[in-house]
Copies of this chain bind each other. A is one copy, B any other.
Amino acid sequence: MKIEDLIAQIRQKKSFLCVGLDTDLDKIPNHLLKEEDPIFAFNKAIIDATHQYCVAYKPNIAFYEAYGLKGWKSLERTMEYLNENYPEMFTIADAKRGDIGNTSTRYAKAFFETMDFDSITIAPYMGKDSVEPFLEFEDRHTILLALTSNQGAYDFQTKTLDGQELYKEVLSVSKTYKGSERLMYVVGATKASYLEDIRKIVPESFLLVPGVGTQGGSLQDVCKYGITKNVGLLVNSSRGIIYASTGNDFAEVAAKKAYEIQQEMQIELSKIK
């Protein structure tokens, strides 16, 4: 997907919400367990109910991988369903991969070609030649971990490396990579004020922001420091939407939650000059 198409979709739906598909057999409504593919049945119902309020879906790959072949099949079916029925959706493989050159190329093929995702999350630790193979794919996007929203982010990411924090170094250095115009960044919302510094380094890039609501930061603060003329934000919510109800009304309640966030986002979008 071209970035312009993502921006157009955001403007049309007045939403920059990404729904995280962290689908867990222990948490989905009991009646779905009778289905032939309960994970896909759950995802399908969530997608059908929420698609008008969001612009992106982000399957968390670990949740599928944990079920082995069955899980990969559910993931493939989910992607086929999305690409057939809602081709306008921006799809994110939350995979946090990254390896040396020829191996990264394999991962890129797995997610961009075999499964036709628009984007993938990548860990930056192995540097340039582990990231650039992903950047070669036209109209696909690589979302590099910069500052994550978990406690472990303070182990390395916020420590000072050669004069600036490691996550800032990741932002600065990655801008020099070939194909860097296809980079986005994961930036946790635990301290929205970090976004002010981040915008000094990557003023235009799209940021994927997890952790709004449940893990801290407010949507208003994220927008205050992070929003750009072309929006430049995708804010993710997973459990707060997909598990808002575990009853028969789960899809309906998920839609209601997504709608509430979309309404807040509409207000923030109206502030862009």
Q: Which residues of A contact B (CB under 8 A)?
A: 22, 60, 62-63, 65-69, 72-73, 76, 94, 96-101, 103-104, 106-107, 109-110, 114-115, 123-131, 145, 148-157, 159-162, 166, 169-170, 173
Contacts and interface: CB of A to CB of B under 8 A. Distances in A.
Nearest to A121: B99
A123 B151 CA distance: 16
A166 B173 contact: no
Contact of A106 (B65, B124, B126): B65
B130 A152 contact: yes
A85 to B, nearest CB: 21
Given A98-B96, A162-B160, A125 B124 contact: yes
Nearest to A109: B66
B106 A66 contact: yes
A232 to B, nearest CB: 23
Contacts of A67: 110, 114
B110 A126 contact: no
Contact of A156 (B94, B99, B161): B161
Contact of A126 (B103, B127, B148, B170): B148
A101 B148 CA distance: 12
Contacts of A154: 127
A217 to B, nearest CB: 15
B62 A103 contact: yes
